[in-house]
Amino acid sequence: MSLTESTPFTHPTLIEAVTRQQYPAGTFYVVATPIGNIADISLRALHLLSLADAIACEDTRNTAQLLSRYGIQKPLIAAHQHNEREVAGKILQRLQAGERIALVSDAGTPGVSDPGAKIVNELKAAGIPVTPLPGASAAISALSASGLLDEHFYFAGFLPSKAGQRTSILQQLESMQASLIFYEAPHRIEESVQAMLEAFGGERRIVFARELSKLFEEIHRCPLAQAPGWLAADPHRLKGEYVLIIEGKAQAEQADQLEARRVLQILLQECPLKQAASLAAQLTGQKKNALYQLALSMKSEAGEEE
């Protein structure tokens, strides 16, 4: 189906806006698809998909089902995380022969916590034009409805499944003065939220954005201290894909940490770690346990051992 044929969106102005755009052959098109509601796709994306010679996709079954709902049938190329480099060579040959190839993921924008980045990298290195067709993004959708006032945001994607690696990354992000955006699967949501509570403390706010654009969409904001209780209050909250947003560190918190590091740096030159943390707590008024963890981190940064 092409938008120049009979569709619900046949207003001449819309058709002109879509069709006057150039769609050169020999170009790779990165196309965003809906994250839930199938209506959340652009007219330009539908037109391009109808023009493409083939569509590279994360899961051919999911994409075939999605395309069928728009009345589009195209040859599909499996392009997932296990074969990206291999399939990039095959796509390159077809593009060099003058074909138009589109790339989609199962949901949202390819290459953003989804396969695609490696393929794009290989094609750009070979001089192939790459054109994005923007659309749905779970991270940006959640951020727009969060109400958090940080001027910046940092997209962290999925956290590691191993507890130690997850804790290490959260500790690295703890001091950032930016909203922190994570993706998380339902089977790991509880342990990830608990790790965030331990890393960031209970006062910062967290935004839960679950099943965005779908029938059971839910967006909830609360202090991190209340987050485990909110999850436990309804078993349905352990289902569905999540975007989690953590409020960035306040400037006052940042100043307190800088002062704590300055005091600890002096004390650690003369005192054992535990004593330095205890004295620093008395001098700064901050919590001894937090200062002890900071002192451990400082020694680790310096390549020292306890």
Rg of the chain (C-alpha set): 24
Matching residue, tokens 């307190």: 256
Going across the sheet that includes 54-57, the strands are: 76-78, 54-57, 101-104, 28-31, 130-133
Going across the sheet that includes 153-158, the strands are: 153-158, 179-184, 242-246, 205-210, 218-223
Would you state the pLDDT for residue 9? 58
Would you state the pLDDT for residue 250? 82
Query: Could you tell me which residues come within 8 angstroms of residue 151 by beta carbon, excluding any fewer than 6 positions away?
Result: 178
Q: Which residues pair with 246 in a beta bridge?
A: 180, 206
Ordered per-residue pLDDT tens for the chain, 306 residues: 455 454 555 677 888 888 888 999 999 999 999 999 999 999 999 999 999 999 999 999 999 999 999 999 999 999 998 898 899 999 999 999 999 999 999 999 999 988 899 999 999 999 999 999 999 999 999 999 999 999 999 999 999 999 999 999 999 999 899 999 999 999 999 999 999 999 999 999 999 999 999 999 999 999 999 999 999 999 999 999 999 999 998 876 777 888 888 999 999 998 999 999 999 999 988 888 889 988 888 887 776 654
Give the H/E segment covering residue 54.
Answer: strand 54-57
Would you state the pLDDT for residue 14? 80
Would you state the pLDDT for residue 287? 86
Would you state the pLDDT for residue 228? 97
Query: Could you tell me which residues come within 8 angstroms of residue 92 by beta carbon, excluding any fewer than 6 positions away?
Result: 122, 123, 126, 128
This prediction has a pTM of 0.78
Could you tell me if 306 and 273 are in contact, meaning their C-beta atoms sit under 8 angstroms apart? yes
Would you state the pLDDT for residue 172? 93
| pLDDT, tens digit, 9 for 90 and up, residues 34-66 | 999 999 999 999 999 999 999 999 999 999 999
Would you state the pLDDT for residue 7? 52
